[in-house]
Amino acid sequence: MIRTIAALSLLALAACGADGEPVQPTMNAGISLGTSGVGTHVGLGLRKGPLTLGYRVK
């Protein structure tokens, strides 16, 4: 798993700005309160044209 993450990180770094301006990442975070308690979430994303890449942690 760590090798996959490292390879994707290097690929993203190498592709950043390769054909123009770098893509600025987005981030959102939130806290929710429900009957089962308090919940948090964090989301990271990249969007360029029709391609969207995102990662969300609950």
pLDDT for 3 equals 80
Q: What share of the chain is helix, strand, coil (3-state, %, to 5)?
A: 25, 50, 30
Which pLDDT belongs to residue 12?
A: 75
Cβ contact 53:42 at 8 Å: no
Tell me what pLDDT residue 49 has: 81
Is the alpha carbon torsion for 27, 3, 6, 10 positive or negative?
negative
Give me the tens of pLDDT residue by residue for the chain, a chain 58 residues long: 778 888 778 777 776 656 667 778 889 999 999 998 999 989 999 888 888 888 888 7
